[in-house]
Amino acid sequence: RKAGTHCNAMASSSSCWIHALGGVPASACAAAPSGPSTPRRTAAAKAPSRRLRACPRPSVLSVCTLLAASAGLVDGSAGDRRHGHHVSGYDLQGGSRETHAALAKRAAQAEAAAVLAQLQAELPQCGISGQVGASGFVDFGPRFQKPVCNRSMSTNCTFSYSAIKCPEECPFIAKSKTFPCLLQCVTGEGCSTAHAGLGLPDNVSHLCTTCSIPNCRLCKNHQRCTTCYDGFVVSEDHTSCNLEIEMRIYLSTILRVVLGFLVFLLVLALFWSKCNGPNPNWENNNRAIRRAMRHRHMTKVQRWCLKEGSPTPPRQRYRLSVNVHKEHIMGQGMALFYNSLVFLMAISLLLWGVTFLVYKVSDIESVLGKVSSFSGTGLLNERQMFLMKDGLEVPGMEPAIVVSPLETCGHRESSDVANAMRTFGNLSFHGCWILYVTMFAGSLYHAQYQQKRSLDYLNSNNTMAEYAVCLSGLPEKVTDECKLKAWLQDEMCSATGKKPKDPDAEIYGVSIGYNYMEIAWEVDCMITRMIEKLEVGLKLYDQEMTTAGADLGKVIDEDKQKVQSWFKETGEGQLLSSGEAFLVFKHKVGKQTFLKNFSSKNPTSHALYHFSAPTKKVGVSDVHIEPPAACWWHFGISTKSLSGRLVKSFAKMITMIALVQGLVVYNFAKYILMPYISGGNPAGGSMFTIAGIILGWVNMLICIQIWFISYELGFHTKDRRDSVVFWANLGFSGLNVCFQLYTVVLQEFSLTSESHCMTSFFEMRSLVRLAVEHAYAHDIFLMCGPGMFFTGYLLCPLMAGVVPYMWNMLLMKMIYVWRCLPTPFLRILRMMLPWAPDDLDRYPVRRAEKGLEGMELGLPWDYAGNIVLPSICCSMLCLSSPWVWQVFRLLFFWSLFYYFWCRYMHLRFMRAQYYTTSRVDSMVNFAWGIPLSIVAFATVVWGLRTGWLPCDDWETWQKGLMCFGAFFLSLVLWMLSYWRYAQPWRHPSHVLKSDPSILHVKDNTLYTWFNCNPVYTLKCKYYIQDLPPAERKAFDNPIASGCSGEVRFFEIGKEYLFLPPAKFERMEEVQDDWMEFETYLDAFVCWLEGDQGKVKNVQEKLRAKFGNEFKPVEMIAMEFGEVAQHLLGFEEHDDEGPAGHDRTELRARLMSEPGGRAERFDSEIGALNLDFTAPSASP
């Protein structure tokens, strides 16, 4: 500061605090006249201390003397920043300003010379103390104490660079970014080369200083730039540096054009809507969108109750605190996932504790604290760091603080660092191997515990997998379930001597996996039309709102003929079997008996040979998946074909990821990120923001493509497909993380000219390496929290929920309701809408439902964070920094946050999905070897640094090879140990605590091995039910149905079709949960359309008047015609119903009804404040 008058009002201060890092003269405290003072030690006799020294009731003279001396005020003139330190003083109350100001000025002039003389006496040879050699070590001695050009040198000065005189050919001092005691003598043009960001050579102080113009390589002054860094171009007036790629593509012009085009579209939309009106089918289309909004709620995870007469509502939301081990919620996969999060909490707590203990027990805190005081990112409090960086007054500092970048330097600095580093290295080595052994043993215990919990889950819950076995190798002509069931029942009885009705021998039915992959899309369309017919019959919407429209009946007749041709004994178009089938028993004990006698894994079991192929053995294996997790459309793919598909898909994924990394990520780094890094500035600006958004969308599209590629692989079970998704997503996330870590490393090394840091990575004596590690650890910590650890997850509900929901809703309204743009524009918008039909006039309910479905519950994606984030944190074990233990603390709190975040996302946000086996969790346990092996890597690194591994004469590349060898050896050891001791592929038979009938389990699960089979469901609907009565009665195999016996197909979101009539009427008793964002967005959409209050009024009054006679479905209550239909008592909705006629015609029909129906209608409508005689309202 231009100080000297700022110590004017300190006489009445009760105390002062002096930041005495570099030593404080005893006279600073001894000169206090207002109270006795006895310093404990002198600065010359003791080593520098980081503690704050209290001066009891100091005088004005003593405080101002210290300020003036440390600021270089020898003659009372203003100090400046030439000496590299900052001073700030504060006025305190007491005395008149003029008196104290004059007294302070005279005192500073009188005592400054004496204090400076004492400081110089303590360091008589202040200047260059050594030079950094090629290995990164500081070489001391008389011949190294002469300043030289372009060579890293060390200094023992404590408060000022003024004693250092560089040669005339390189007169400027460039301070090292990595360590305060290192510097270089450079030319003016070499300032930014020695230290990125120091682009202004100060001719007065002869220091390389920071230029106020960002990304300027050489500044003439703070207002004019001469040369910019690579990737930037200087502006015409030389006052700024602009990103070169931004200027080349004319980004500002493009943004203005895009903004203008959006404004043009808005004006055009308003004009077009005003002139041409809404879509001709806007009412039906709007009802379809409303139905889709309800469907999205139905697809969430919830409990369904089919028991007729039960007071339990048909559907209930699970509490977020529900015990996922005792409740059968989407399979055992969820229970194992939350177990893994608890295990991660324990591991992160262990890592946090050990690293914190190592850091505190060793003396490294003093060394790293000194580095922190220079870098401004360490142990100093926030106000002190701010003052140290900028030298500004900070309110609340009493009464003064003195900080110098050179406060860590001195003639004992090198030995202090070496001793502290040696102690820290020894403790780190022992801590790492203890961590590795503990984590290895704990991970094996966790793996075995997961297997045990999987077994406990099966013992606590009745699942469909406990009643079924899988048959393979059946002849492709075997498509008659009754004949196959009868043959298997005979084989069972002959092998066991049991009767067909015995509990341990009774077969419930057979579900054949058909080979229909070539017509899978056709089968899906048939299932869709079958569901639509059911929902139209339930009066949920009109026939015109189906995919087939008014021709639904005709198209269904065609479907029936097609299905019947599949199962005729003669003729073309017969559907063949895939050779696989599920044999379902009525009791669990029947399955165990069958496996005991016919399992392919049992060498003493009986062999099964079908009578139509007596030489081909039928394979028998256990089943561990639930029916919804079977990929029925892939049953026709052989193992050999699957292997070829797997290789092609793997090559496709690698190519796609490589293209993205090469075309998108590389260019993003080269043209946007690297120019900012080279200039020592954080990336920013509009171009960086736009590119970041594009990169985020590309990553999301890659994840979607990974899912589609895995979906088309041809796996017969969902758990195998999920395993591929996990590994692919883990690899892709790992590549992105490696890229981010690489940019951090590149940034740290680009900000300093020292190139020997990597060569001294396995040594303990390099000050440069120590400071670079500390800065690198700090950058990783900032990268992890909150961005990587929290921000992405917190933004997920917005970016993967609210934004797609509102965007798709807007597209639906613009195209199919408002029709507010010309047809060519609407066709372009339709390409952005998922599941949009080709027709621009009609929007079927089924397409709208698919378009508004949320993201599915994706454990393979959720598991990836359990591996990637711990791997990042464990990689910091090789670094010497307090940020190491702090990042593990962050990991612990992240795992705690992630546990509850996943609870919300799984039970309130995501679309339900089944994970019925432990396969994905086993894959995660295999991948856990990655962070575990990184700990082994760090152990070897510290062993080499400290000499516990005697490899001092090895080359650097040999030591690096040894470290990576330890990593891969640990990875192989973990996988073998996990395979041997946890035995993830072994499925032990669990104890039958209860053996209820499969009919009882069916009421709880809704799904069976029959109603999840698409082809068999169509066969039951269109073939079996049309058989002659005698043949229909003789069909001895369960129908694909719900509890009512009517044919139903199980699909997530359509569970309500299985409800009995009494339960169906109560389906909406449990309304939407307040924790679902759709609840509020739906209300907002209704408010925008102006019908929220009217709808609520209709619902409440109809429920109050008619009770259960009125179906409380929002979509029905919305439509005035449907309300009138109920009041009229229509049983069927036909073309003459109220929705297809004008309101006036409806009233005319009412007048012709006997018994005062018209008067009742008038009274009811009057009570509801609805005008049915008015024409249809506008959108």
The pLDDT tens digits for 494-505 are: 888 888 888 888
Helix ranges (DSSP H) in 191-331: 191-194, 244-248, 251-276, 282-298
Strand duo 617-622 + 468-472: pairing: antiparallel
The predicted structure's pLDDT at residue 394: 33
The predicted structure's pLDDT at residue 420: 76
The predicted structure's pLDDT at residue 531: 94
pLDDT in tens, 1131-1153: 333 433 334 444 455 455 545 54
**Count, residues in the chain:** 1179
Distances in Å between the Cα of 627 and the Cα atoms of 724, 813, 922 are 20, 37, 21
The predicted structure's pLDDT at residue 908: 92
- In the block, tokens 């029916």 appear at 627
Task: Point out which residues pair with 401 in neighbouring strands.
Answer: 88
The predicted structure's pLDDT at residue 414: 54
pLDDT in tens, 152-165: 888 877 666 777 88
The predicted structure's pLDDT at residue 1110: 42
pTM for the predicted model, two decimal places: 0.77
Contacts of 85 (CB under 8 A, 6+ apart): 70, 71, 159, 160, 402, 403, 404, 405, 406, 407
Say if residues 530 and 1046 touch (Cβ distance below 8 Å). Answer: no
Cis-peptide, bond into residue 786, ω within 30° of zero: yes
750 against 805, higher pLDDT:
805
User: What is the C-alpha separation between 743 and 761, in angstroms, rounded?
Assistant: 19
Compute how many other C-beta atoms are within 10 angstroms of the C-beta atom of residue 562: 16
pLDDT in tens, 848-902: 999 999 889 989 999 998 999 999 999 999 988 888 999 999 999 999 999 999 9
The predicted structure's pLDDT at residue 86: 35
- Mean pLDDT across 1029-1035: 86
State the angle between helix axes of 413-460 and 767-782 in degrees (0 to 180), rounded to the nearest 10: 30
* DSSP one-letter code for 207: B
Distances in Å between the Cα of 991 and the Cα atoms of 80, 336, 969, 982 are 83, 20, 39, 20
Most confident of 559-568, 965-974, 990-999: 965-974
Q: Which helix (H) or strand (E) holds 243?
A: strand 241-243
Q: Which helix (H) or strand (E) holds 508?
A: strand 507-514
- In the block, tokens 């005729």 appear at 568
Say if residues 403 and 19 touch (Cβ distance below 8 Å). Answer: yes
- Mean pLDDT across 222-250: 87
The confidence band for 606, taking pLDDT boundaries of 50, 70 and 90, is: confident
Strand duo 200-201 + 208-209: pairing: antiparallel
The predicted structure's pLDDT at residue 1139: 40
User: What is the C-alpha separation between 577 and 515, in angstroms, rounded?
Assistant: 5
The predicted structure's pLDDT at residue 905: 94
- In the block, tokens 């604290």 appear at 369
352 against 365, higher pLDDT:
352
Most confident of 486-495, 598-607, 1037-1046: 486-495
pLDDT in tens, 759-806: 567 777 666 677 677 778 887 887 787 778 888 888 889 888 899 999
The predicted structure's pLDDT at residue 1070: 57
pLDDT in tens, 701-740: 888 888 888 888 889 999 999 999 999 999 888 888 888 7
CA angle 250, 255, 256 (to 5 degrees): 100
What's the start-to-end Cα distance of the chain, in Å?
A: 69
The predicted structure's pLDDT at residue 499: 85
pLDDT in tens, 560-584: 999 999 988 766 778 899 999 999 9
Say if residues 723 and 919 touch (Cβ distance below 8 Å). Answer: yes
User: What is the C-alpha separation between 480 and 487, in angstroms, rounded?
Assistant: 11
Sign, CA dihedral 974-977-979-983, equals negative
Say if residues 981 and 987 touch (Cβ distance below 8 Å). Answer: no
CA angle 347, 351, 354 (to 5 degrees): 135
The predicted structure's pLDDT at residue 697: 75
- Say yes or no to pLDDT of 966 above 50: yes
User: What is the C-alpha separation between 48 and 818, in angstroms, rounded?
Assistant: 76
The confidence band for 441, taking pLDDT boundaries of 50, 70 and 90, is: very high
- Mean pLDDT across 518-545: 92
Side-chain half-sphere exposure of 1029, counting CA atoms within 13 A: 0
pLDDT in tens, 82-120: 333 333 333 333 344 456 656 655 555 455 445 445 554
The confidence band for 292, taking pLDDT boundaries of 50, 70 and 90, is: very high
The confidence band for 4, taking pLDDT boundaries of 50, 70 and 90, is: very low
Q: Torsion angle of alpha carbons 545, 551, 556, 557, nearest 10°?
A: 160
> What's the mean pLDDT when you consider all of the chain?
76
Share of the chain above pLDDT 70, in %: 72
The predicted structure's pLDDT at residue 47: 34
803-825 burial: b if 16+ Cβ within 10 Å, else e: ebbeebbebbbbbbbbbbbeeeb
- Say yes or no to pLDDT of 251 above 70: yes
- What are 891's two structure tokens? 């990991």
Compute how many other C-beta atoms are within 10 angstroms of the C-beta atom of residue 771: 29
Most confident of 42-56, 177-191, 351-365: 351-365
Share of the chain above pLDDT 90, in %: 30
- What are 257's two structure tokens? 């054009």
CA angle 987, 989, 990 (to 5 degrees): 115
The predicted structure's pLDDT at residue 607: 84
Say if residues 216 and 225 touch (Cβ distance below 8 Å). Answer: yes
